[in-house]
A = this chain, B = another copy of it.
Amino acid sequence: MHGHGPMTIGELSRRTGCKVETVRYYERIGLMPPAPRSAGRYRLYGEPDVRRLAFVRRARALGFAIDDVRTLLTLSRERRGGPCAEARQVAATHLAAVRAKIADLRAMERLLGDAVSLCATGEEPGCPVIEALADAPAAERGSARSRRGAAARRRRG
């Protein structure tokens, strides 16, 4: 077990920062190819696997859904250095979703911040946090939750 030659799943895990269970999970769902096995049925990996898994982890860290990662992997395989309309489309769609989420969270931040700082002054009759929840107008359709659900449904097709 020196530097070159195939590595075990634990070594792959150390090199990519991806947990062993997660690697096996990725194999199960087809995000990583089925690894060849040693005599004792241990999975064996090489440098291309390190690169592929690192790609997956970075895409996931940027918030791409598993299905998006699959698409991006395919695109990166078949179009090395070619046109990128499809990849740009996937990224642009995801970017829009990220921006929508940021907008939602900022709205939450403002409301929460207001309630908490009112609390801090201590001049209100009831707790401002509770009152904000009890007295605010009913939830509308265009809220954070609905939009999040819509995004998820879109992804699933």
Question: Which residues of A are interface residues toward B (Cβ below 8 A)?
Answer: 15-17, 51, 54-55, 57-63, 72, 75-76, 79-84, 87-88, 90-92, 94-95, 98-99, 101-102, 105-106, 108-109, 111-113, 115-116, 119-120, 125-130, 132-134, 136, 138-141, 143-145
Distance of A79 Cα from B129 Cα, bound (Å) = 12
Distance of A76 Cα from B134 Cα, bound (Å) = 9
- On whether A144 and B55 interact (CB within 8 A), knowing A102-B105, A130-B87, the answer reads no
CB <8 Å contact, A139 and B58:
yes
In the bound complex, residues from chain B placing their C-beta under 8 Å from that of A106 are 102
Partner of A62, one of B80, B95, B108: B108
CB <8 Å contact, A129 and B84:
yes
In the bound complex, residues from chain B placing their C-beta under 8 Å from that of A143 are 61
Nearest-CB residue, chain B, relative to A86: B127
CB distance from A31 to the nearest CB of B (A): 14
- On whether A102 and B109 interact (CB within 8 A), knowing A81-B125, A129-B87, A130-B76, the answer reads yes
Distance of A148 Cα from B127 Cα, bound (Å) = 29
In the bound complex, residues from chain B placing their C-beta under 8 Å from that of A144 are 61, 63
